[in-house]
Structure 1
Amino acid sequence: MDSPPQFTALVLDLFGTLVPAPSTRERALAVHEMASAIKVPENLVKVALKDSWLPRHDGTLRTTGEVAARLTATCGAPRGRAPHVEAVLRKLAPGRLQADATVLQCLAKLRRSGLKLCLLSDAAPDIAEAWSRSALSSHFDVALFSCREQAVKPSRQLYAKALERLDRDPRSVLYCGDGGGAELAGAAHCGLRAVRVERRGGPTALAFGAEPSAWRGVTLKLVEELPTWLAGLPVGTGSFR
């Protein structure tokens, strides 16, 4: 077994941390496919996606079908086109969950060290529904998605649910994310210690409510550095927010 860390559990963000946050090019391709599916101008789909971020992520829209119906209606397309949008969303979701081999190896090493792992992600239903078929899923003890928990970061409800599912005291849990959605401050406010990783996908990747410039705590370049960093922590380290 690898050297045990001082923490007993780790909560990890998904987009920008384990997999790249969507790039402007990826978003443009998704907009193009959806616009083609419902036969409307791309700018309508682009605006509909932006304006629907919260209901897609906070549980207002509970399924991929409901998301597709909302986008179709917002774009003024016939209701019968919604299944085509749903098909596009379902097709694209697995690709957004593809992690580098180095990330999978990192997660395996963290679990071998004795840590329980929890995924906590602001995500729409298409991502939540595709999760169990991803290579990432088998590395986690718990997976929580905002659309299913009916709250988005930095809601205390999400961190409390993660601690409940992990059955851990917040002082023994580390949160790791790229800083989108005020997630790091949210974790700290709930008693978890937090570490930031630079956004996977680069500085131009899209993120909601990014806060990296305000973060004054520990920052790692990549999530893959976590096992080495954790192994080097002295017991009782207090340099966290």
Structure 2
Amino acid sequence: MIFDFFGTLTCGSGRGQQHAVVAALLGCAVEALFEVLDRSFHLRATGALGDATDTMRWICEQAGARPSAADLRAAVEARVEAVRADTRLRPEAVTVLRAVRRRGARTALISDCTHELPAFWPQLPVAPLLDARVFSVQVGRCKPDPAIYLAACQRLGVAPGDCLYVGDGGSQELTGAARAGMTPVRLAAADLDGHLVFNRDRGWSGPALASLSEVPGLLDVPRNRPGSEPAGSVPVPGGAGCGV
């Protein structure tokens, strides 16, 4: 089973007050910082601008800021802390991942993210509960590019057809997962209305769940028996070595 991170394993969120610290260190208005961040997400999330320091230097140029070398380094660290502060795991995330693993399924994460998430990932309680992780900034691909889904499958040692994909629909991830051969399910949690998201999968009309807590139950559906699923349920892939 493959999970998205932001908005799926985490609660819906926007940018919090700690981003003002980043703007202050750079010497620009927080609105100018946000404008650059919004229009450069794909560039930053694919690592196209270089490492975290090079990326922050580019952001400065775009925002018209000229911080000292020391303030630039401090801004890189402050940005990690700001994104970390915005990241609130869903209360049920750890329980859900443990339940999925108890059912014998392997787990993976695919996240469209910038340099900050990999920096604090080891500190998160969900980290040891995922058998594989694919961060877009490290592989140079964002969803819905098939390559990022196939990278997760390769790390799990399974075929796409043996995978369920759970995400909130950012980055057209559900459409991308389907095209890659996976079975996608949308998390339509109530707290996602104001969630910061780019390139939303607006046309998605496939299966959806109201809560992350419903995910383990997907594995209790009989597998690969056409017509065996209850009406409205998600057809669960199966087979030897199943990675759902």
Partner of 2:3: 12
In the alignment, is residue 110 of structure 1 matched against residue 100 of structure 2? Answer: yes
Cα distance in 2, alignment partners of residues 11 and 88 from structure 1: 30
When normalised by structure 2's length, the TM-score is 0.85
Cα distance in 1, alignment partners of residues 54 and 124 from structure 2: 22
Deviation at 1:169, TM superposition (A): 1.6
Cα distance in 2, alignment partners of residues 65 and 199 from structure 1: 35
Matched residue count: 227
**2:18/2:85 contact within 8 Å kept:** no
Any gaps of 5 or more consecutive residues in structure 1? 1-9
Name the aligned partner's letter for residue 157 of structure 1.
A
Deviation at 1:42, TM superposition (A): 2.4
In the alignment, is residue 177 of structure 1 matched against residue 167 of structure 2? Answer: yes
In the alignment, is residue 219 of structure 1 matched against residue 208 of structure 2? Answer: yes
**1:217/1:240 contact within 8 Å kept:** no
Is 174-183 or 30-39 further displaced after alignment? Answer: 30-39
Cα distance in 1, alignment partners of residues 151 and 65 from structure 2: 38
Cα distance in 2, alignment partners of residues 137 and 228 from structure 1: 22
Name the aligned partner's letter for residue 145 of structure 1.
F
Is 32-41 or 12-21 further displaced after alignment? Answer: 32-41
Partner of 1:4: none
Cα distance in 1, alignment partners of residues 131 and 61 from structure 2: 38
**Higher relative CO (CA 8 A, sep ≥ 6), structure 1 or 2?**
1
Partner of 2:239: none
**1:64/1:89 contact within 8 Å kept:** no
**1:73/1:79 contact within 8 Å kept:** no
| Counterpart among 139, 149, 156 of residue 159 in structure 1 | 149
CA shift digits 1:156-191 (9 cap, x unpaired): 110111111111122211111011111111111111
Partner of 2:117: 127
Question: Secondary structure of the residue that 1:157 maps to in structure 2?
Answer: helix
Partner of 2:30: 42
Alignment of 1:1-241 (within 5 A): 10-23=1-14, 27=15, 29-80=17-68, 81-199=71-189, 201-211=191-201, 213-231=202-220, 233-236=221-224
**Taking structure 1 as reference, are residues 200 and 94 closer, same or farther at Cα in structure 2, changes over 3 Å only?**
farther
- Percent identical among aligned pairs is 24
**2:4/2:167 contact within 8 Å kept:** yes
Cα distance in 2, alignment partners of residues 144 and 226 from structure 1: 20
**1:21/1:207 contact within 8 Å kept:** no
Deviation at 1:237, TM superposition (A): 5.5
Cα distance in 2, alignment partners of residues 173 and 17 from structure 1: 17
Question: Secondary structure of the residue that 2:219 maps to in structure 1?
Answer: helix
When normalised by structure 1's length, the TM-score is 0.86
Name the aligned partner's letter for residue 40 of structure 2.
S
